[in-house]
Amino acid sequence: MESYTILVINPGSTTTKIGVFTDTDEVFSETLGHSVHDLRDFRTVTDQLDFRTAAIEETLTEKSISEDRLDAVVGRGGVLRPVESGTFEISGKMIDDLRTCRFGEHASNLGALIAKIIADRTGIPSYIVDPVVVDELDDIARLSGHPNFERRSRFHALNQKAVAREAARMLGGKYEELNIIVAHLGGGTSIGLHRKGRVVDVNNALNGEGPFTPERSGTLPAGDLVDYCFSGGHGRDDIMKMIKGEGGLTAYLGTNSTLEVTERIASGDKRAGTVYRAMAYQVAKTIMGLFAGADGKIDGVVLTGGVVKDGTYMVPWIEKMLGGVSRLIVIPGEHEMKALASGALRVLRGEEKPLRYS
């Protein structure tokens, strides 16, 4: 079988992760750090495009990797209109929506923009895979309780889909035939019900719905939040920062580091233990609530994301709270780079047809 060389680009707020894969085997990967000093003169994320592209090109040169060796470039999908799951060709319409931040501004918007620039120079294809706006929600999952507000699907689609497929293999079945709940626990937390290959219910992790996290407040008491908004002295930006960025562990304990929190627990800090256990409790409650979306028939529950690296407190607490209702599979960390390469590879091998964004 022919092998393919794929460049993967995954921009974050202060980093750009890049990697080169031969099929799904990593040749090299590196995280390029961007300091506050580096980024301070850029008014918008899009303004960083040339700066980040140049940093990637410099690294490829240092690694003696010629762009002529590449068969495809794949970037992290950004904030687009709601789309189905899969691998998308990077189109002119996609570029326009990401450049103008039509549906939202996020560092991940740069993934497709950079991938397209590099790919077009040598005439190879460029893709994105499972962006954060993948939307497969059931109709009943969209209803919030009032027609003025519709629940949105914005979650860690790339990592969730990747680990769900891995979990299906571990369970001895096919992703499209099983019911799996995936809880991605990181700076943001998303918990989704994958029912026979479709994420039919998931919290809007981008805006802080669901359990609280190291830096997000999660779902807050609605009436109290309304009162707070109208209590005076709080602008929209202040409130959004409270919900996303300065909530959760940051608000309760003054840190977004779960490592620091676990160290404080180990040293006898009871407040840290209560708050951290409450975070685990909210995760477990959300997982249990999703059983209803599959008539209680769940083949496995997956814990993934950076917080899941804590096998001393977080994972055992959640496992105990779930009470053995389903097989628990722990896949710590994020697997986005390999997932991006895998999505491009499936298209290059003809196993899937590329989707078109229009």
Give yes or no: residues 83 and 172 share one domain. Answer: no
Nearest-angstrom CA–CA distance, 60 and 151: 41
Residue 164 lies in a domain: yes
Q: If DSSP codes are grouped into helix, strand and coil, which group holds residue 263?
A: helix
Q: If DSSP codes are grouped into helix, strand and coil, which group holds residue 245?
A: coil
Q: What is the pLDDT of residue 104?
A: 87
Number of domains forming the structure of the chain = 2
Give yes or no: residues 94 and 174 share one domain. Answer: no
Q: What is the pLDDT of residue 32?
A: 93
Give yes or no: residues 150 and 127 share one domain. Answer: no
Give yes or no: residues 306 and 347 share one domain. Answer: no
Is this structure's pTM higher than 0.85? yes
Give residues with Cβ within 8 angstroms of 132, minimum separation 6: 77, 78, 79, 106, 108, 154, 155, 156, 157, 158, 206
Give yes or no: residues 22 and 148 share one domain. Answer: no
Give yes or no: residues 71 and 168 share one domain. Answer: no
CATH of the domain at 96: 3.30.420.40
Give yes or no: residues 128 and 178 share one domain. Answer: no
Whose structure tokens read 């814990």? 303
Q: What is the pLDDT of residue 238?
A: 92
DSSP strand pairing (179-185 vs 149-150): unpaired
Give yes or no: residues 36 and 59 share one domain. Answer: yes
Q: What is the pLDDT of residue 198?
A: 97
Per-residue pLDDT of the chain (358 residues; tens, 9 = 90+): 789 999 999 998 778 999 999 999 999 999 998 887 888 889 898 999 999 999 999 999 999 999 999 999 999 999 999 999 999 999 999 999 999 999 988 889 999 999 999 999 999 999 999 999 999 999 999 999 999 999 999 999 999 999 999 999 999 999 999 999 999 999 889 999 999 999 999 999 877 799 999 999 999 999 999 999 999 888 998 999 999 889 999 999 999 999 999 999 999 999 999 999 999 999 999 999 999 999 999 999 999 999 999 999 999 999 999 999 999 999 999 899 999 999 999 999 999 999 999 8
Whose structure tokens read 């479709």? 198
Give yes or no: residues 223 and 299 share one domain. Answer: yes
Q: What are 150's strand-pairing partners?
A: 143
| Helices (H) then strands (E): counts for the chain | 13, 14
Residue 159 lies in a domain: yes
Q: What is the pLDDT of residue 40?
A: 84
Residue 331 lies in a domain: no
Q: What is the pLDDT of residue 306?
A: 92
Dihedral sign of CA atoms 227, 230, 232, 235 in order: positive
Q: What is the pLDDT of residue 105?
A: 87
Q: What is the pLDDT of residue 38?
A: 84
Give yes or no: residues 300 and 229 share one domain. Answer: yes
Q: If DSSP codes are grouped into helix, strand and coil, which group holds residue 347?
A: helix
Give yes or no: residues 166 and 293 share one domain. Answer: yes
Give yes or no: residues 124 and 205 share one domain. Answer: no
- DSSP assignment of 98-123 equals HHTTTT---TTHHHHHHHHHHHHHHT
Residue 149 lies in a domain: yes
How many CA atoms are closer than 13 Å to the CA of 62, on its beta-carbon side? 10
Residue 267 lies in a domain: yes
- Domain hosting residue 125, numbered range: 5-133+336-356
- DSSP assignment of 288-329 equals HHHGGGGTT--SEEEEEEGGGG-TTTHHHHHHHHHTTSS-EE
Q: Is residue 279 a contact partner of residue 249, using CB atoms and an 8 Å limit?
A: yes
